[in-house]
Structure 1
Amino acid sequence: MASAEVAAAIKKLLPSKLPPSLSSQPANLYQVLSRYPRDGVGQRIHQTRWGVKGIEGCYWKVSRTKLKLEGTHGKAWGRLYWRGKCVSEQDEKIPGGLKYKWIEGESRAPPPPKTK
């Protein structure tokens, strides 16, 4: 078999879409946290809309989770860091877990559009 034929045969065997646990795409808070060991405790996460609005350096640091329904629903607690500074005096429930899209890391503004 030629290498192109082998590659085509392997491609047919592999799934066309990654399972949700291996995806790095934005999802609800609990789906994102369920991708990590210990259900995301210790992870930095942020809402994708923060970057679109130009808000940078903001994230929640997750301290505790209770996930259910295979990681699609649940509760999560943590501390909010806004523009690099902790604004939570103690752990608090993270709001908007199902309402918004979330992703791992700190928020970043999108790059400016290229001009000709």
Structure 2
Amino acid sequence: MATSVAAALKKLLPKELPPSLSTRSSTLYQVLSRYPNDGVGQRIHQTRWSMKGISDSYWVVTKTRLKLEGKHGKAWGKLTWKGKLVSDHEEEIRGGLKYTWRQGVSRTTTQPSGTNPIP
């Protein structure tokens, strides 16, 4: 009985969520499309910054122009790099499709104690 109910639910649910409802990391434009005003005012960062040990770095989005439900577009903002404001004026955020993005500020990932990082 339980397996037939699970099978029926599986048929009703979509195979994947639309980009605006997904919680995983994705392109810059998909991340921004999840928020009101297409993400204007949000802090965003590239996930690779955390993996490289770069913390307290992010863009504050000031303007967006999204296309195709957040699959493409352009975004502008001010960059804060390692806690210091780098951009005095608004500039285009590059790498929107090339890299993986997340909402928030980059944080360094720490190794569990007693393990050595792989060179």
Shift of 1:113: 2.9
Shift in CA distance, 64/9, structure 1 to aligned 2, threshold 3 Å: same
For residue 89 of structure 1, what is the aligned residue in structure 2?
Answer: 88
Corresponding letter in the other structure for 2:114: T
**Contact kept in structure 1, 2:19 and 2:70, CA below 8 Å:** no
Residues 72-101 of structure 1 show CA distances to partners (whole Å, capped at 9, x for unaligned) of: 111100000112221101000011111111
Q: CA RMSD in A?
A: 2.1
**Contact kept in structure 1, 2:64 and 2:75, CA below 8 Å:** yes
Shift of 1:114: 4.4
Shift of 1:110: 1.2
- Structure 1 unaligned spans of 5+: none
For residue 65 of structure 2, what is the aligned residue in structure 1?
Answer: 66
- Identity among equivalent positions (%) equals 63
TM-score, L = length of structure 2: 0.83
- Do residues 36 (structure 1) and 26 (structure 2) align? no
Where do 4+ consecutive residues of structure 1 move more than 6 Å? Answer: none
Residue 106 of structure 1 aligns to a residue whose secondary structure is: coil
Shift of 1:28: 1.0
Shift in CA distance, 10/85, structure 1 to aligned 2, threshold 3 Å: farther
- Do residues 56 (structure 1) and 55 (structure 2) align? yes
Q: Number of matched residues? A: 114
